[in-house]
Structure 1
């Protein structure tokens, strides 16, 4: 990471919803190296929903589309209601994305974790509509 990369997420609280151990370890390391405070990780939809409800100052999230066989859309819905930006990090192609979330950035796995950080950073930096 460059020095700007090391601080691009400084002070941001980011929920990670991912059920693959190796992937989530890589995500945690990358986000923490960029200055983020990781919330979770959550390996199930129920766990992710609990974290969303329990974390008042959540800045953003990275969601795997499928967590232990359950689609992550209830978590996406909860984040959207709270105005929390998120990106999808998934092995699924675009055809699986629910129509109302086609505009959400999708990083297709396997992916360089820095690309996920950058995608979320751009979502956090977007002006509210």
Structure 2
């Protein structure tokens, strides 16, 4: 996938692995997105949701020992599209969010961009 498919989009990244968060940041910026913030724990993610304006989010399913259910619930309540990005399968997704897209780590950059575009459509 080439081009700036996310041009003008503001994205939040919720990921506890620094190298993966940095890789996601680079992929999304290369696609034209602006990263409004990165969070590595549930509390920081919830704070970002409260203070930042953004178009979509990409969420790891587990942040250290925390599940991101509260983050997914807050995004849903605010009508913000999001996709999960995890090394785990769908069985670890929060039950009420299993209809959400799941990208398996480490997937192709084009798949990440495509899935975020689809989620925002």
TM-score, length-scaled by structure 2? 0.95
| Cα offsets for 1:47-89 (capped at 9, x unmatched) | 110000001x310000000012100111111100000000000
**Where does structure 2 lack aligned partners over 5 or more consecutive residues?**
none
- Runs of 4+ residues deviating >4 angstroms: none
Residue equivalent to 1:70 = 66
Residue equivalent to 2:23 = 26
Residue equivalent to 2:84 = 88
Residue equivalent to 2:43 = 46
Aligned-residue offset at 1:114: 2.5
Q: Secondary structure at the match of 1:39?
A: strand
C-alpha distance in 1 between matches for 2:110 and 2:23: 10
Do the aligned residues in 2 keep the contact of 1:26 with 1:113 (CA within 8 Å)? no
Size of the alignment, in residue pairs?
A: 121
C-alpha distance in 2 between matches for 1:24 and 1:124: 20
Matching of residue 99 in structure 1 with residue 95 in structure 2: yes
